[in-house]
């Protein structure tokens, strides 16, 4: 008998704790149950997640999106705060599919780490369930991958996947936008989940006390504020009037995202004095020496979602969104595009 045959290795010896994974699944089940909605068939634990599309849709078109949280996770690791990044994860995908008119139906997550910390992972999933409740979608499945040596100790990565549905006749693609339409801006809750590589670079240079007071809150709290989820108020707005276009202001900021819903012959003119720049962005710009154009290209600068409606519907849309709890402002208008002109101009 060779010496190697005398060795008795287990998966745990290789760095994978099956029992910890099982414990996490059990911790997740009640969290997922809270998010259940019409259409969910079965529960967490199967090989695949089953969902039946409601009969209320006559010609349903599925809209899907996937995203992560990016390097905002690095701040979560540094601060040992894991309870809100799950909200960010959900928000980035459900806000994306929302802009095409889709009602988010269900969500799945992928959690990958080197060594599974059940308490931290449970906090993350609590945030995911919270985000799903805010969006009205069901958390119906996911994957936890424990991969020794793939990630530094104490770190993990997240990905999320959202699926929604929209009536084929009600898909919002920007094709109805025309000169004279109004651009409304819905306030962001902070930097959301974008630009954090630059945020962390500025923090590295400025070396602030993250626990110090920052306009009535700790700077750490402001930096970790989760992404706002706009699903419910905007679905209600779509039921009451024609929404011609919506833009989730993510990576690329205002300058690169707004053109994604515009036909080539149109330009959106945004007026910088129409909304107040939140203190976080002013602080980042000052301490990082960031140019205005770079701010508008990297950060949401206080506007997390834009909505484009006909001029005659603008006041009613403003009133409805404010009544739903949104901070919303008329920030610009659509006009014909001059030759060679950018499709989004911030004046």
pLDDT digits (tens, 9 = 90+) for 42-65: 777 778 888 999 999 999 999 999
Is pLDDT at 12 greater than 90 in this prediction?
Answer: no
Cα 72 off chain centre by: 12
**CB-CB contact of 253 with 296 (8 Å):** yes
**CB-CB contact of 137 with 94 (8 Å):** yes
Structure tokens at 301: 């600068």
The pLDDT score that the predictor gives to residue 24 is 79
Higher local confidence (pLDDT), 87 or 2 = 87
- Residues paired with 217 in a beta bridge: 214
Q: What is the pLDDT of residues 140-169, one digit of tens each?
A: 988 999 999 899 988 999 999 999 999 999
The pLDDT score that the predictor gives to residue 113 is 94
Structure tokens at 100: 């095409």
- Quote the CA–CA distance of 93 and 286 in Å, as a whole number: 31
Q: Tell me the pLDDT band of 1, cut-offs 50, 70 and 90.
A: very low
Is pLDDT at 4 greater than 60 in this prediction?
Answer: no
E-strand stretches of 25-59: 40-41, 50-51
């Amino acid at each position: 008998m060779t010496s190697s045959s005398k060795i008795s290795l287990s998966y745990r010896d290789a760095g994978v704790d099956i029992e910890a994974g099982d414990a996490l699944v059990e911790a997740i089940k009640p969290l997922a149950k809270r998010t259940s909605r019409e259409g969910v068939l079965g529960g967490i634990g199967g090989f695949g997640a089953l969902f039946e599309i409601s009969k209320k849709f006559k010609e349903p078109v599925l809209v899907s999106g996937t995203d992560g949280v990016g390097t905002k996770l690095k701040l979560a690791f540094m601060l040992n705060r894991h309870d809100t990044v799950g909200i960010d994860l959900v928000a980035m995908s459900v806000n994306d599919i929302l802009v095409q008119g889709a009602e988010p139906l269900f969500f799945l997550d992928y959690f990958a780490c080197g060594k599974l910390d059940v308490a931290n992972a449970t906090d993350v999933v609590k945030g995911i369930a919270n985000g799903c409740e805010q969006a009205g979608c069901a958390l119906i499945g996911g994957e936890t991958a424990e991969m020794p040596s793939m990630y530094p100790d104490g770190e993990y990565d997240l990905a999320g996947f959202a699926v929604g549905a929209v009536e084929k006749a009600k898909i919002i693609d920007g094709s109805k936008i025309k000169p004279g339409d109004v651009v409304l801006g819905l306030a962001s809750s902070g930097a959301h989940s974008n630009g954090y590589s630059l945020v962390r670079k500025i923090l590295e240079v400025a070396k602030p006390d993250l626990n110090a007071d920052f306009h009535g809150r700790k700077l750490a709290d402001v930096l970790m504020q989760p992404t706002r989820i706009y699903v419910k108020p905007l679905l209600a707005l779509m039921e009451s009037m024609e929404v011609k276009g919506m833009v989730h202001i993510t990576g690329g900021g205002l300058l690169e995202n707004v053109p994604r819903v515009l036909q080539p012959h149109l330009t959106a003119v945004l007026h910088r004095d129409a909304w107040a720049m939140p203190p976080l962005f002013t602080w980042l710009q000052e301490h990082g020496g960031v140019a205005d154009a770079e701010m508008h290209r990297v950060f949401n600068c206080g506007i997390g979602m834009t909505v484009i409606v006909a001029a005659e519907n603008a006041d009613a849309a403003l009133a409805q969104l404010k009544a739903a709890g949104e901070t919303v402002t008329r920030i610009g208008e659509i006009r014909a595009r001059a030759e060679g002109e950018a499709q989004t101009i911030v004046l």
